[in-house]
Amino acid sequence: MSVFRICSRLGRAGWSMAGTRNMSAAANYNYNSLSVTQPSDFVLNLELNRPTKMNALNTEMWEEIGHFFEAAGEDGDCRVVVLSGSGKMFTSGIDLSDLSQLASVVFSDDDIARKTIMMYNKIRHLQNLFTKLETCPKPIIGAIHSACIGGGVDLITATDIRVCTQDAWFQVKEVDMGLAADVGTLQRLPKVLGSQSLVSELCLTARKMDADEAHRVGLVSSVFKDKDAMMSGALELAKTIASKSPVAVQGTKRSLVYSREHTTEEGLDHVAKYNMVMLQSEDLMKSAMSQMDKSSPPPEFAKL
């Protein structure tokens, strides 16, 4: 049976299976260090919200980021997340008061084996909270204005798409603090930029990289004149993605993330196993019908 005949059997009723849209989905997320709004259907804007502290990443914010992306990954009313920052800058990096708390452990008189295990578990926990951006099946658009320093680079390298303002700048600051970046930058930035030489330069010198260079080397895909223009562009991009089949979009993200860490053959097998089920989805029928009949309204897809 042809795709056209299958789609015809769905009839116009097929367009109404998307389910009721919920414009108050953001009300399900209440945080102290983050602000969550829903600017359009199926799009959530997660804003780092410690403007008086330059959105410094303290323990509370770190935990809330991890909680949000785990919850958003299971939220049928969310299909895309825009990650932005309030106030004067995206983030100044790790909160130095939290860093000083770790230093008090390092210089304590406790047994070295026990201190070492505690430090390892702490680092792995923080790493896992940022990894939740990758394991979240919803695409994440990082929208960066002004400064993105230290832990902020760890954070944005776990996003799927990055855009920034003309005045944005990026800095892998950790070597100036006497430590190696340990929450994802050294692992993800080489895959984002594709140049080990440039990554090594940035990480070993802690120099600033401005928006033009970030765009040229592929850290960001678009640069906007100011924050308002950037947020407008990021939200429009999010709306476009959210209008697509969530089966297709989430499967695409899963396969892209998987393939980055595996061989080409493993990636091909992964997407084949995904599509052996998902090609039977009603979303394919709706999309095909829309492509063949340009006079039809845009397809609406059920929540996933």
Query: Phi then psi for 283, rounded to 5 degrees?
Result: -60, -35
**Which residue range is the domain that position 105 belongs to?**
20-242
Mean pLDDT confidence for 11-39: 67
My answer on whether 170 and 201 are in the same domain is yes
Question: How many helices (H) and strands (E) would you count in the chain?
Answer: 12, 9
Q: What is the pLDDT of residue 304?
A: 87
Which one of 85, 142, 150, 151 is the catalytic residue?
Answer: 151
Q: How far is CA 248 from the centre of its chain?
A: 17
Is the pLDDT reported for residue 285 higher than 60?
yes
My answer on whether 59 and 196 are in the same domain is yes
Higher pLDDT, 15 or 198: 198
My answer on whether 66 and 96 are in the same domain is yes
Q: How far is CA 95 from the centre of its chain?
A: 21
Number of domains in the chain: 2
Separation of alpha carbons 304 and 302, rounded Å: 6
In a domain, 139, yes or no: yes
My answer on whether 170 and 189 are in the same domain is yes
In the residue annotation, 182 being an active-site residue is answered as yes
User: At residue 137, what is the residue type?
Assistant: P
Which residues touch 136 (CB under 8 Å, ≥6 apart)? 69, 70, 72, 73, 81
Note if the pTM is more than 0.85.
yes
158 contacts 152 by C-beta, under 8 angstroms: no
Which one of 94, 144, 156, 161 is the catalytic residue?
Answer: 94
302 contacts 17 by C-beta, under 8 angstroms: yes
My answer on whether 165 and 208 are in the same domain is yes
Q: What is the pLDDT of residue 71?
A: 97
Q: Which pLDDT band, with edges at 50, 70 and 90, does 295 fall under?
A: low
Mean per-residue pLDDT over the chain, rounded: 89
Which one of 41, 60, 182, 213 is the catalytic residue?
Answer: 182
In the residue annotation, 111 being an active-site residue is answered as no
My answer on whether 38 and 102 are in the same domain is yes
Which one of 77, 160, 174, 283 is the catalytic residue?
Answer: 174
CATH label of the domain that carries residue 28: 3.90.226.10
My answer on whether 109 and 251 are in the same domain is no
Is the pLDDT reported for residue 4 higher than 50?
no
In a domain, 299, yes or no: no
Which residues touch 161 (CB under 8 Å, ≥6 apart)? 139, 140, 141, 142, 221, 237
Q: Which pLDDT band, with edges at 50, 70 and 90, does 95 fall under?
A: very high
The 8-class DSSP code of residue 51 comes to: G
Of 13-22, 110-119, 222-231, the one with minimum mean pLDDT is 13-22
Is the pLDDT reported for residue 8 higher than 60?
no
My answer on whether 263 and 168 are in the same domain is no
In the residue annotation, 154 being an active-site residue is answered as yes
In a domain, 44, yes or no: yes
Is the pLDDT reported for residue 94 higher than 50?
yes
Mean pLDDT confidence for 161-179: 96
Which one of 64, 134, 154, 283 is the catalytic residue?
Answer: 154
My answer on whether 195 and 267 are in the same domain is no
My answer on whether 171 and 277 are in the same domain is no
In a domain, 219, yes or no: yes
CATH label of the domain that carries residue 263: 1.10.12.10
